[in-house]
Structure 1
């Protein structure tokens, strides 16, 4: 059995080290150029995009919560408006339990905040706008 041994010359390892150093320097140059570019309007644009994405993210959760609540109310109406009187006694009992449970709509809740729905989103946006105007007024003095 022969062992395949690969001998590396000093120039091979030096080339790899120098290429990794060049890569590191390139990354540092890109990052420092990016920080310099963000000093003006680009920084403002980045902050606005970040804020808008947070608002859209929050709206999505609130819309989902409202949608779940609406559709759970539709279960009650669909069961009540079905032709339950033509069904067997077992199905009538099942529909009675469905109607009883669906009488109270399902709500998506988050701890002490309460129900996550579109009215909560409107309250959050209104409160954030109030705080923003207060901070702007305090900054003017």
Structure 2
């Protein structure tokens, strides 16, 4: 903080305050990973009255939120619909307790987090109970 100027006829020494300023902005970098299905849901066929289980495994950071859709309509929990998501394993499960003809169609599992979203889709086919009996009778006749 001292300014010294030698080799001048008069020697002058002066003190003055220094002010050093540095502006640093810290920007939080978004560290994230878009969800990815490790195991997507699979299409299945059941008879009316049977239960259905769709299961998927998903990864992503932060942990994704899961939504289920039936024929592109958001599904909400009901007494015959069970939703479960195990964050530790990334396993998303949808159980339809008693599947009927109106449950047939396209099912989608959407995983979303701050880094993005992804969807996997499968088809559920529900056959009437009479079709199962008729098919069973036909198979028995073919065996004889």
Structure with greater Cα Rg: 2
TM-score band by shorter chain is: under 0.3
User: TM-score w.r.t. structure 2 length?
Assistant: 0.20
The structure richer in helix per residue is 1
TM-score, structure 1 normalization: 0.20
**Higher percent of residues as strand:** 2
